[in-house]
A and B are shown apart, each in its own frame.
Chain A
Amino acid sequence: MRLSLGPLQYFWPRERVLAFYREAATWPLDVIYLGETVCSKRRELTTRDWIALAHELADGKREVVLSSMALLEAESELASLRRLVENGRCRVEANDLAAVQLLRERGLRFIGGPSLNVYNHQTLRLLCEDGLERLVLGTEQGRALIDEFRASGVPLPELEIPVWGRLPLSYSARCFTARALDLAKDDCGFRCIDYPDGLPLTSRDGQPFLTINGIQVQTAGPCDLGPELAELRAAGIALLRIYPQAAGNAAIVTRFRTALQTGATPLRVGDENGYWHGTAGMQLVEPLQAPVEW
Chain B
Amino acid sequence: MHLVCPAGSPPALITAVDHGADAVYVGFRDQTNARAFPGLNFSEADLRAGIRYAHARGRQVYVALNTYPGPAHFGDWQAAVDRAATLGVDAIICADMGVLDYAARTHPTLPRHLSVQGSATTHAALRYYRERFGIARAVLPRVLSIQQVERLCEQDVVPIEVFAFGSLCIMVEGRCQLSSYVTGASPNRHGVCSPAKFVRWEEGPGGQRSVRLNDRLIDRFEAGEPAGYPTVCKGRYDVAGNVFHALEEPTSLNTLELLPRLAAAGVVALKIEGRQRGQAYVAAVTRTWRAALDRFAARPDGWSPDPQWQRELARHAEGHQTTLGPYHRSWQ
Contact = CB atoms under 8 A, between A and B. Distances in A.
Interface of A: 70-75, 77-78, 81, 96-102, 104, 115, 117, 119-123, 125-127, 139-140, 144-145, 148-149, 151-152, 167, 169-176, 179-181, 184-186, 199-207, 209-210, 212, 217, 219, 274-275, 278-283
26 contacts: A78-B122, A81-B124, A96-B119, A97-B119, A101-B125, A101-B127, A117-B96, A119-B69, A120-B69, A120-B98, A121-B74, A148-B71, A169-B177, A169-B181, A170-B177, A171-B175, A173-B143, A174-B170, A174-B326, A179-B246, A180-B240, A180-B242, A180-B246, A207-B217, A209-B237, A210-B181
A206 B238 CA distance: 8
A171 to B, nearest CB: 5
Contacts of A199: 239-240
B45 interface: no
Contacts of A119: 68-70, 96, 98, 188-189
A72 B184 CA distance: 27
Q: Which 9 pairs between the two chains have the least Cβ-Cβ distance?
A: A122-B98, A119-B68, A98-B124, A148-B71, A173-B143, A173-B326, A170-B171, A280-B184, A101-B128
Contacts of A117: 68, 95-97, 118-119, 174-175, 188
The DSSP consensus for interface residues of chain A is mixed
A204 B184 contact: no
Interface of B: 68-72, 74, 95-99, 101-102, 118-125, 127-129, 131-132, 142-145, 148, 151, 170-172, 174-178, 180-184, 186, 188-189, 210, 214, 216-220, 233, 235-240, 242-243, 246-248, 326, 329-332
A204 B172 contact: no
Contacts of A201: 237-239, 246
Contacts of A102: 124
A167 B178 CA distance: 11
A83 to B, nearest CB: 14
A257 B96 CA distance: 37
A77 B243 CA distance: 34
Nearest to A99: B124
B68 A120 contact: yes
A122 B101 contact: yes
Nearest to A205: B217
A280 B189 CA distance: 13
B98 A204 contact: no
B70 A120 contact: yes
Contacts of B121: 71-73, 96, 98
Given A126-B132, A171-B175, A204-B217, A176 B332 contact: no
Given A172-B170, A174-B248, A186 B181 contact: no
B188 A140 contact: yes
B292 to A, nearest CB: 25
Contact of B177 (A81, A99, A139, A278): A139
The DSSP consensus for interface residues of chain B is mixed
A119 B131 CA distance: 21
A102 B128 CA distance: 9
Contacts of A207: 216-217
A263 B85 CA distance: 53
A275 B185 CA distance: 11
Contacts of A144: 70
Contacts of B171: 170-172, 217
A204 B143 CA distance: 28
B237 A279 contact: no
Contacts of B180: 140, 275, 280-281
Contact of B214 (A98, A148, A280): A280
Contacts of A175: 332
A115 B102 CA distance: 22
Contacts of B124: 72, 78, 81, 97-99, 101-102
Contacts of B143: 71, 73, 172-173
A217 B237 CA distance: 13
Contacts of B176: 169-170
Given A73-B144, A123-B98, A171 B172 contact: yes
Nearest to A72: B122
Contacts of B74: 120-122
Contacts of B218: 203
Contacts of A209: 216, 237
A204 B175 contact: no
Contacts of A282: 181-182, 216
Contacts of B119: 96-97, 117
Nearest to B169: A172
B144 A204 contact: no
B173 to A, nearest CB: 10
Nearest to A129: B132
B133 to A, nearest CB: 9
Given A100-B128, A149-B71, A180-B240, A204 B220 contact: yes
A98 B132 CA distance: 13
Nearest to A182: B242
B243 A204 contact: yes
A70 B72 CA distance: 28
Contacts of A184: 329-330
A74 B143 CA distance: 11
A144 B184 CA distance: 13
A221 B170 CA distance: 23
Q: B178, B182, B214 — which one has the most chain A CB atoms within 10 A of its CB?
A: B182
